[in-house]
Amino acid sequence: SLHSLEKMLTASLTLTSCPLQAVLLADILPTLLIKLVAPFVVDAVPYGVRVLLCVLMAAVSFVLMSLSSAVWTSLLGVVFASVSAGLGELSFLSLTVFFSRDVVGAWGSGTGGAGVAGALSYSGLVQAGPWTSRQPEYEAVSSADRQRLLDEEEEESVHGKRSRFILGLTLCGLLKFVVPLGLVYFAEYFINQGLMELLFFQHFFLSHAEQYRWYQTLYQVGVLLSRSSLCCVKIRRLWLLALLQGLNAAFLFLAVLYRFLPSAWLMLGIVLYEGLLGGAAYVNTFYFISKETDGRHREFAMAAASVGDSLGIALAGLAAFPVHRYFCSL
């Protein structure tokens, strides 16, 4: 589902006649709604059923997009892909608590690989270029550790559902992770959907649409590299990543306003750096949530914290509308 979603975002210049921000909102609002509500109610739905729903939604999105002859059906296809991605992300993040903590890094690599596969397959096929995808690997925890987690769930079911007080404490404890993650993704998608399309270089061998596609593709490469870096480096200071991504967005905002970037090659390097920051923020956020959250509430915390990136993306889409209109009116 992430593969299909990234492919649609990369193709958004030719996907519909709607602005990029409309495609982004159709992509992120269903995901945001699911992530806000599902962690509190989805426990009653078995993981197998959730995965089946994700697969069906992704399949419907592909059918709608391939047969689309109108803008509304294209956007509906994006919505189905968004539902699939949102439910899938929070479900698989919750499942990571039943494995060793290293699986969070594998999840990051897998989602990063999905982004590259989606963006590169579209860009590559359009220009008859090569494309590759990555497959995540993981190792399950020992039977004893798995049984301990299952025993905790059984004990919790005996004592009833999580109390509102405990959930409140857990959510408050997540703010130190969710807020920086949301800020990183706000700046990131403000760049991607509000500024990137406007950073077009006339005297370059790629056309406007081709430049945008390869910006998105290289961004996904950066995301893949940093989401796969957990085995080498771990970054606990998530606020630093938020600050750097904010500075990145401010710099590119000024670049659009004053047109001082000399070459598309420099822009490609900046986009790669942007992806590195975003991927690092994502994978380190969930790694440290998994590490620092009490085992009884870790499954809920992993699902609930996933709202951070979606909220940042949704706000970025809303902010990008007036900014894009302003620059186009100059």
Angle between helices 238-258 and 264-292 (to 10 degrees): 160
**Predicted pLDDT of residue 15:** 52
**Predicted pLDDT of residue 101:** 77
> How many angstroms separate the first and last alpha carbons of the chain?
38
The CA-atom distances, in angstroms, between 147 and each of 102, 151, 157, 208, 216 are 18, 6, 15, 55, 43
**For residues 74 and 50, is the Cβ–Cβ distance under 8 A?**
no
DSSP 191-227: IIIIIGGG---SSSSS-HHHHHHHHHHHHHHHHHHHH
- pLDDT tens digits for 269-301? 999 999 999 999 999 999 999 888 877 778 888
- Positions of the chain with pLDDT under 50: 3, 130-139, 157-162, 165
**For residues 182 and 312, is the Cβ–Cβ distance under 8 A?**
yes
- pLDDT tens digits for 23-32? 777 888 898 8
**CATH topology for 2-329?**
Growth Hormone; Chain: A; (1.20.1250)
Whether this prediction's pTM lies above 0.85 is answered by: no
Q: Where are the domains of the chain?
A: 2-329
Which tokens go with 176?
């130190």
